[in-house]
């Protein structure tokens, strides 16, 4: 590792079921301004800008180009986009800073799920030959994984309900969360998953600023140093994988250095209660680790931003001094197909 890189600012919108009155750029702009304000940087000071979003949520081609209006792209900026969760945009920005081509980076992500049906939209990311023509929706696929866990004796419906209750209770301290109070487990949406096991559908955006070396100390009192990031992927065929495990998460965590020393906090991108069970196992998290003190994706799950928010929440815990070493995880694809793990640390106190 040639340079130390830290996350120095994080902002997110209030996540809401619907934000009709706002275009994507109108929803995004306040968080862009907020992270710049936290650091005192102006757009022109930023070395690299990278975003994550999805045209399928917007229903329009190249929708991210309009969101760029919120950044201020004149004089011309160095910019890139991933059609994925913003956590992967952060990964790209991190590698850009590692090369020394830039000292600061702005990373943002947004998703407005309210215009369409997110369960239908997500079917379009599946294998187009064998899966997509059957339209298996995201809840159904997560339910197959949940049943596999129940059959394996790794969890039961009561344990899943406990994950849901803990997440929403913790979210009461998070003013941005969409569900910040206990939610009834409700009826089966797709058995064995009940409404309470599933994330809320909502609109939202998030942004972070990364900085290298001394720049990070100038911009932030207690930078959240990124000690490692890695992301790994598994076969897209669900029937090829063991749905009760997440070897890609484990490998990403290992490569990111997560197992070298214990973490005190973990922000896991587990939109479904059952996925937290899988991730805790893969990451060997025991009860000494605070998992999702923000409430996690069960409290607010703006598609394409929820993973970046996990990294942002982990970093914010370090900024506040609530954590010294935190793990952040983001996922994409059905049943935890792709996973990113970042390890963040504050300076010793």
Partner 1 sequence: MPEVLKAPLAVEFPFTRSLGPVQSAFLTGLRERVLLGVRTTDGRVLVPPVEYDPVTAEEIRDLVHVATTGTVTTWAWNHEPRRGQPLDTPFAWVLVRLDGADTALLHALDAPGPDAVHTGMRVRVRWAGERSGAITDIACFEPCDGEDTVITVHVGEFEEPVTGIVAPARLDYTYSPGRAQSAYIHALAERRTVGERCPSCRKVYVPPRGACPTCGVATTEQVEVGPRGTVTTFCIVNIKAKNLDIEVPYVYAHIALDGAGLALHGRIGGIPYDQVRMGLRVEPVWTQGARYPDHYRPTGEPDAEYDIYKELL
Among 8, 9, 193, 282, binds partner 1 (CB under 8 A): 193
HSE, side-chain direction, 13 A CA sphere, residue 315? 30
Task: For residue 281, state whether it binds partner 1 (rule: CB under 8 A).
Answer: no
Task: For residue 144, state whether it binds partner 1 (rule: CB under 8 A).
Answer: yes
Which alpha helices (H) appear in 23-135, and where do they start and end? 24-39, 55-58, 63-67, 86-98, 118-121
Only one of the segments 4-12, 111-119, 197-205, 339-347 lies at the binding site for partner 1 (rule: CB under 8 A); that segment is 111-119
The helix (H) or strand (E) run that includes residue 314 is: helix 306-320
Count of residues in contact with partner 1, rule CB under 8 A: 61
Q: Is 169 helix (H, G, I), strand (E, B) or coil?
A: helix
Burial (CB count within 10 angstroms: exposed 0-12, middle 13-18, buried 19+), residue 129: exposed
One-character DSSP codes across 46-58: -SEEEEE--HHHH
Task: For residue 22, state whether it binds partner 1 (rule: CB under 8 A).
Answer: yes
Cα 52 from chain centre: 11
Task: For residue 50, state whether it binds partner 1 (rule: CB under 8 A).
Answer: no
Backbone angles phi, psi at 22, to 5 degrees: -115, 135
HSE, side-chain direction, 13 A CA sphere, residue 177? 24
The two structure tokens encoding residue 311: 């990294």
Only one of the segments 92-100, 144-152, 163-171, 283-291 lies at the binding site for partner 1 (rule: CB under 8 A); that segment is 144-152
Task: For residue 41, state whether it binds partner 1 (rule: CB under 8 A).
Answer: no
Dist. CA 282–CA 111, nearest whole Å: 28
Q: Which is nearer to partner 1, 37 or 260 (CB)?
A: 37
Task: For residue 243, state whether it binds partner 1 (rule: CB under 8 A).
Answer: yes
Task: For residue 240, state whether it binds partner 1 (rule: CB under 8 A).
Answer: yes
Task: For residue 169, state whether it binds partner 1 (rule: CB under 8 A).
Answer: no
Task: For residue 85, state whether it binds partner 1 (rule: CB under 8 A).
Answer: no
Q: Which is nearer to partner 1, 43 or 172 (CB)?
A: 43
Only one of the segments 122-130, 163-171, 212-220, 224-232 lies at the binding site for partner 1 (rule: CB under 8 A); that segment is 122-130
Residues that bind partner 1 (CB under 8 A): 20-26, 29, 32-33, 43, 56, 59, 66, 68-74, 114-117, 119-121, 123-124, 128-137, 140-141, 143-148, 151, 188-193, 235, 237-240, 243
């Amino acid at each position: 590792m040639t340079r130390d890189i830290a996350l120095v600012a994080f902002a997110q919108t209030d996540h809401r079921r619907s934000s009709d009155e706002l275009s994507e750029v109108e929803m995004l702009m306040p968080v862009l301004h907020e992270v710049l304000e936290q650091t005192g940087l102006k757009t022109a000071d930023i070395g690299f800008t990278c975003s994550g979003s999805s045209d399928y949520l917007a229903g329009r081609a190249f929708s991210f180009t309009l969101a760029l209006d919120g950044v201020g792209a004149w004089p011309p900026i160095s910019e890139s986009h991933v059609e994925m969760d913003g956590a992967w945009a952060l990964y790209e920005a991190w590698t850009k800073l590692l090369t020394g081509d830039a000292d600061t980076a702005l990373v943002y992500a947004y998703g407005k799920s309210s215009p369409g049906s997110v369960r239908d939209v997500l079917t379009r990311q599946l294998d187009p030959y064998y899966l997509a023509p059957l339209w298996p929706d995201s809840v159904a696929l997560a339910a197959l994984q949940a049943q596999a866990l129940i059959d394996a004796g790794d969890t039961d419906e009561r344990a899943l309900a406990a994950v849901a209750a803990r997440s929403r209770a913790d979210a009461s301290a998070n003013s941005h969360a969409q569900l910040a109070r206990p939610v009834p487990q409700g009826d089966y949406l797709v058995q064995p998953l009940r409404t309470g096991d599933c994330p809320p559908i909502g609109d939202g955006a998030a942004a972070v600023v990364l900085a290298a070396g001394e720049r990070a100390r100038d911009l932030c009192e207690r930078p959240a140093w990124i000690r490692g990031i890695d992301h790994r992927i598994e076969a897209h065929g669900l029937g090829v994988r063991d749905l009760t495990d997440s070897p890609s998460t484990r490998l990403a965590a290992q490569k990111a250095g997560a197992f070298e020393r214990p973490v005190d906090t973990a922000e896991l991108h587990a939109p479904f209660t059952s996925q937290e069970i899988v991730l805790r196992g893969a990451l060997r998290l025991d009860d000494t680790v605070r998992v999702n003190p923000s409430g996690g994706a069960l409290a607010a799950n703006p598609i394409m931003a929820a993973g970046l928010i996990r990294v942002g929440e982990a970093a914010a815990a370090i900024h506040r001094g609530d954590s010294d070493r935190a793990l952040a995880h983001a996922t994409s694809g059905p049943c935890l197909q792709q996973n990113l793990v970042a390890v963040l640390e504050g300076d010793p106190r």
